[in-house]
Structure 1
């Protein structure tokens, strides 16, 4: 299939034209092939505003203009066939299954709840489990740390013992997934903090 460059980014809203231009300029500099966005804050009618000449292929899970939203953008130079899509009506995740050069690829962009919600993660991974017959790429903002000591600033009151953390770890183990950033930076704090 060759090498594809993936970017995942919580953009915290793409409501204004000025902010979208800043996002698109940064994506152009990063030379991404596939972009997974979270917190797009786009209503369904506004999802086409994420299209650009470089990224004409946009898949969106929309909610409203003030919260949630996930999107996957694919660069114009990537030739693919869509095999299946799963769009969360609550705007929390999007799963697309593609064929690229006769190889199956499942890409998921997820924006997790900012409260402990084990049922959400069971539902998300259940939907994902139906598309595991190819290479899986999962990116997003889970809104929790998988390793509280490394992934969160250790100030008083920030330690959270959420059930969702253990559920995600179990599914990651079951699906053979790893935290790519943590694998490359085993002793560095989370870049989102």
Structure 2
């Protein structure tokens, strides 16, 4: 295995069979080795419905069939040794500690609150800190922007910056994490979500990785919005 292709995607619900098939098919089209999904809206044991021949291994955290839910799916081509899993009872994150080709990784799928709730990020990073010695990969919809100038295009009134953004950036600094897409596109405006209510484009979805991985990143892309209303 020369490289890993990691896809993070808020899928906005996987309750229907046809949509699950569309999402899985698109993950295959994107050649995902590891898929970090948010807002799965699946609850045990129905979350196993996402497992298929191409993605036979999944770790998830569920809430109910209408809200939240996150998952990490592994392609059948990836050999993974599982060490530990931390699941959030509110269905907002799942953290797994695994070994791929003799290297330890801490991989998390995260779905942040759509309100300014800094306590959530404290809770998440406290749970993650147990595995901070591993190479960290966090993917998800954090529901906030890190750079108001570059990560938002708003035609309405100016929106305030949440305190949660400062908390997240502090944890990134403490744990030595970089924003993979921004690191590859330092001055580009790219967006993963359009709000028709606020007439704004925002980049709410991120892949945050240990800075030690940066030199190994070949590319980082925001794909077109299809199936869900957020871009993978």
TM-score, scaled relative to structure 2: 0.80
Tell me whether 1:69 sits opposite 2:69 in the alignment. Answer: yes
Q: Which residue matches 2:122?
A: 122
Flag structure 1 segments of 5+ consecutive residues without an equivalent. Answer: none
Tell me whether 1:100 sits opposite 2:100 in the alignment. Answer: yes
Q: Is the 8 A contact 2:152 2:191 kept in 1?
A: no
Flag structure 2 segments of 5+ consecutive residues without an equivalent. Answer: 194-232
Larger RCO: Structure 1 or Structure 2 (Cα < 8 Å, ≥ 6 residues apart)? 2
Deviation at 1:154, TM superposition (A): 2.1
Structure-2 separation of matches of 1:143 and 1:190 = 15
Structure-1 separation of matches of 2:157 and 2:41 = 29
Structure-2 separation of matches of 1:127 and 1:84 = 12
Q: Which residue matches 1:184?
A: 184
Q: Which residue matches 1:146?
A: 146
Partner SS state of residue 120, structure 1: helix
Q: Which residue matches 1:30?
A: 30
Tell me whether 1:171 sits opposite 2:154 in the alignment. Answer: no
Question: Deviations along 1:101-127, whole A, 9 cap, x unmatched?
Answer: 221011000000000001000010111
TM-score, scaled relative to structure 1: 0.96
Structure-2 separation of matches of 1:152 and 1:30 = 25
Q: Which residue matches 1:9?
A: 9
1:40-59 aligned at under 5 Å gives the runs 40-59=40-59
Deviation at 1:158, TM superposition (A): 4.9
Q: Which residue matches 1:60?
A: 60
Structure-2 separation of matches of 1:57 and 1:124 = 23
Deviation at 1:130, TM superposition (A): 0.8
Greater shift in the superposed pair: 53-62 or 149-158: 149-158
The runs of at least 4 aligned residues of structure 1 exceeding 3 Å deviation read none
Partner SS state of residue 67, structure 2: coil
Question: Deviations along 1:35-89, whole A, 9 cap, x unmatched?
Answer: 0000101112211011010000011100111110110000111111111100001
Structure-2 separation of matches of 1:118 and 1:178 = 20
Structure-1 separation of matches of 2:101 and 2:184 = 28
Structure-2 separation of matches of 1:157 and 1:13 = 30
Q: Which residue matches 1:86?
A: 86
Structure-1 separation of matches of 2:160 and 2:67 = 23
